[in-house]
Structure formats: C-alpha cells, structure tokens
Structure 1
Amino acid sequence: MELIQNNKCFDGEQRVYQIQSTSLNVASKFSIYLPPQALAGEACSALFYLAGLTCTEETFVIKAHAQRLAAQLGLILIAPDTSPRGEHVAKADHWDLGQGAGFYINASQAPWAEHYQMQSYIADELYALVVSEFPVLKDSIGIFGHSMGGHGALTLAWKYPEKFKSVSAFAPICAPSECPWGEKAFSNYLGADREEWKQHDALQLLKSKGALFKEVLIDQGAADQFYSQLNPEKYQQACIEVGQKLTLRQHAGYDHGYFFIQSFIDDHLQFHAIQLDHQ
C-alpha cells in the first residue's frame, strides 16, 4: 500500500493510496478521509462511498463536500475507483461501459473477467485492508453511493449484510435489468442469462432476500436528466411488499449531479451515524 497524496482537511487527513489489487489484477487507487478522532487513535465508524459512471476515487472527495461533517461525527470515508484501470485493462467505445463503469459486480465474460472483479475488490479485498490498516470499528461500517454507485451500495449491502450495517443512496439505478445502462453492463459483463442478472440487481435482491436493514435512505432529484434509468418507484413498491422501511425523498428542481449530492450529503452522514451507533 503506497501513500501517494495526503492533505490536511478539517483537522483530519484526506489521503489517496495505491495498491496492487489481486482481485483486479492491476494497480488501483482509493481515497480515504481520516477524521481527527482517527488520527488520535480512536476507533471510528466507516462509510464506503461508491461513485457513478465515469468517476474516479477523487470525484466524491472533491465534489461532495463531506469532510466537514465527517470530521465532526468521527466518520472515516473510503472512496474506491469505479473500475480497474490501465493500458492492458479492457476498454469500450462508450462512456457507460468498461473503464469508469465497473458496476460493482464480478464479470464472468471475456474480455472483462480478467480485471473487472469489482465486487470482490470492494467487499473482500479493500474491506479487509481498510479494517486491518486503519482504526475502523469493524461492526460499524456502512455503504452508500450515487447512480451506478447507488446500485452498488444497495446490491453489496444485500449481498453482505454481515459486513455493511447501514445503507443509503443518491439517485441509484434501482432496477438495472430494466434500464439501458444496466442491460448494457450486465449483457457484457455477465452474458445473456437474465436469471444470472437477478443476483446483481438491487430490486431483485430486495425481493428475494427481503428486509435486511432497519431503514434505507434514498434521495432522488425530481429534475434528474437520467430519471428513466433509475426506477425509484419500483424499488419503493418492493420495499412495501417485503416490509423494508424506506425513506425515499423526491427533491423538486434537483438534477443528477454533485450539486444535488452536496445539498443532502449531511443528511446521509447523519443517517449513517445514527444507524451505526444503534448496532
């Protein structure tokens, strides 16, 4: 693990590390914010943030403005990259597939399977590394994300409830099997078998596994230019059917970008702090 950037921020430190990932079979960067409590040696709750299409490990760090309240609440924030990167990593001709668009799943199809093992990278490799190398309360880790990363947060939370104890999302892709973004990614990464897709679809995981969390928070901009890709109402209806408490907030005038996330990031950090404190 190589420290490649370190900046003081609200009396904590915003760092970027690079590791040689065995899951991705390539070097990968991740950002981590250590609040002042962690720097003083206090074990802290932690949140994994999964970014959306085209983003990197820097996007959330620079654009979300989360560090101020994270410092006050004593939350460690981990932001991985959105895909494997590199000259020998498969690419696509479009922005919504390939590098920058890993979808937080393990690809099974060529040429993607060699490097695109994002589920294992985050839930196993990076998770274990963070817990071992930083002062993280192991039983107090949550996950949240935006768009493709919101899909990742919802799916990884339902796949690994023993690891992630709280979950929220900004404008998540709730039913990827039923939208162009998800169909494109799943058909390429997983193949044509739609039954296999269900194992990586937030809506289908919710329906099959039922209610797993005390509460889920989703914020959605009503003026989101990608609204047709997201299907929050379908997820809301499924939550009602399985008895999963969901707070779905629709915000008039807000679009899909980080000004929207900035506006409600404090609510998400406070939500996780409350959920994790109640474990």
Structure 2
Amino acid sequence: MAKDEAGARMKRKTYEKELEKLQVQLCHLQDWVKEQKLRVVVFFEGRDAAGKGGTIKAITDKVSPRVFRVVALPAPSDREKSQLFIQRYMQHFPAGGEVVIFDRSWYNRAGVEYVMGFCSPEDHRRFLTLCPQMEKHLVESGIILIKIWLEVGMEEQERRFRARIDDPLRQWKLSPMDTESYRRWYDYSKARDLMFEATNSKHAPWTIVRSDDKRRARLNCIAHLLDSIPYKRIKKDKVKLPPRTEKGRYNDQVSLRGMKFVEERY
C-alpha cells in the first residue's frame, strides 16, 4: 500500500485510492459469505469520537445492506432492563450469509455502564467473568467473532469534540454523555484495561486500531477484517442485459402527464 510521509496524516487522494481497492475486496468477501452461509459478528468499541461511525460507513458503503447489517442500539427500555443483559444484542445476530456490525455492543457494560454507575459493581464483575465463556460458546457454534477497539488519543479526542461544537452538521454527535466521558478520560482508561484483561481471550481476542488519523484507521480496519475471514473470489458469468420486449409497446411517459413532479430547483 502506498504510504505518505512518516507521521503525516494520509492525503485524501491516497486514501480514496486505497479505499476503493479494499472495497472491491469487501465485495468479493460478501459473495463468499453468502455462498458459504457464514455468520460473522463484528464489535466496534472505543472512546467517544474514536471514529467508529466513519469506519463502519467505509466498510458498508459499497456492499449490500442485506448482507452487511449495522446495529446501533439505543439505551435499553424498561422492558429490556428486566431481560438478560445480552438478550437485546443476541436477537440481532446473523443468520447464514450475513455480517452484522455492532456500533457498540454488550461491552457497554464494561464501559459506559460501569463508569457512569448505570450497573452495580457486582453486575460489572459478573459480566467480565461470564463474557469469555459466552463468547467461547458463540465461536464454537460457528460464529466468526471479530472485536475491534479504536484507540484515539486525548488531544485528538478534544480536537474532534471542539470541531463538533462549531459544526452545525455534527453538533448532533455531541451529547451530554459525550462531554461527561470527556471529563472522565482516566476512568474510561481504567475500565478499558479491566475489560481487556478479562475478555482478551484466545478464542475471541481484541484488536486495537490507533485512530488519530481517521483515514489510516479505516483502511487498517478493513484490511484486518478481510484478513480475519479467509475467503476466495467467486467467479461469476458476466451479466448481459436482455433486449427489452417489443410486444405491446407502451408509452410510459405519456401516462405521467398531469402527475405532480418535484420542483426542479437544481
């Protein structure tokens, strides 16, 4: 892969060229997942403003939403709070031929819920104890489980937060919970390290991606995803468009006269 000068942020032209190559491979992976009826689960975790959303968009931009599904769950309802903690995540797990990407996952319990006091210390300890066992069962059942942590630095997170404050197109990304997470940087660091220590297992390891440079992070994530699922390119016959039928030729524009069209402002 082409590289920019060491330490410099990747240039847009370089990024777009490399991204296109990787997205072609994602399309080949998609065909393989469908043919082999694989079940793939990808967890994206990381601090606020680490770049999870942009990375997920780069992955899913050129593939079918029927194969690559994105799940970003809101805060649990009262009913969901009364269920098993993992229950609301499990119902979104893939059938054969699907890749499900979680924009945050049940590791909320090890992060925001633990730091903000939304769960008890005992709930946190129980989760860290049971999680590796649960994930071992999932992997042994045939699910390919990929866990990615985006690691953004303190200064870069602050820069991104300040950029959101000044940008009306991104202000919606900055919630009171985000600003509180900014204040509790070191509490989140300790929670992250406890999570890694307990859940970085052989059967479901964590992979950390440095994300101060968003473009490099996205490319590195996609490359890692492609490496994590061995696949082969499936040969297909080239599609040929058939001739349109001449029988019963119908003027389909005349029939639209009198209908309301959107005003052509551009």
Q: Indicate whether the TM-score tops 0.5.
A: no
| Bigger helix share | 2
Larger Rg: 2
Instruction: Flag the structure with more relative contact order, 1 or 2, with Cα contacts below 8 A and sequence separation at least 6.
Output: 2
- TM-score of the superposed pair, with normalisation by structure 1: 0.39
- TM-score of the superposed pair, with normalisation by structure 2: 0.40
